[in-house]
Amino acid sequence: MALDPTARESNFRDSIKKWGVDNLEIIESIPLTFDKALSSPNIQGKAVHRWITFIFDTINLGTMSEISLRIFCCTRQDNEGFKLAQLRDTVMGYLVNDGTVGDGQVRIPFYRSYANQAWTLLGSLLVIDIFESAQLEAPDETKYKILTVRLKTPSKM
């Protein structure tokens, strides 16, 4: 028996990837990676000094499913962490401001994704909480902050 589209992990992941690409990569011109922790994106012939990595965490399925993901805001050649602060502010702007609904809660469009046909809008993933880490530094001098985002959406089990 197949899972309902509202309970499929692939739809959660694809919807979040689409939201990241549409907003952060296309509009803000910030390179993205998925499930690669602090690895910078491979962009041929260009050094990358800022990027965002999405790490998918837990999914708790239920009548109101909860999805958790970590967003790593990363910079290099950033002595005082100013570029990191700007990057964090850009990402947070997309996670806390939604002028489309009027209730102040951000919604990420939730799609039924397909490999070879148009995606179908199922509803939305509601941003419930954002937990922010302190500024951290990796051995290669990458500065980063981790935004842990908790999302909820109705699901059919």
50-95 pLDDT, tens digit per residue, is 999 999 999 999 999 999 999 999 999 998 999 999 999 999 999 9
Where are the domains positioned within the chain?
5-35+48-154
Q: Note the pLDDT tens digit of each residue in 5-22.
A: 999 999 999 999 999 999
**CA 144-150-154 angle, 5° bins:** 150
Asked if 148 and 119 count as a contact pair (C-beta separation under 8 A), the reply is no
Mean pLDDT of the chain: 90
What is the distance in angstroms between the CA of the first residue and the CA of the last residue of the chain? 11
| Greater model confidence, 45 or 8 | 8
5-35+48-154 belongs to CATH 1.10.3720.10:
no
Q: What is the pTM of this model?
A: 0.91
Give me the pLDDT at residue 104, please: 73
- Average pLDDT score over residue span 33-45: 72
Amino acid 6: pLDDT: 92
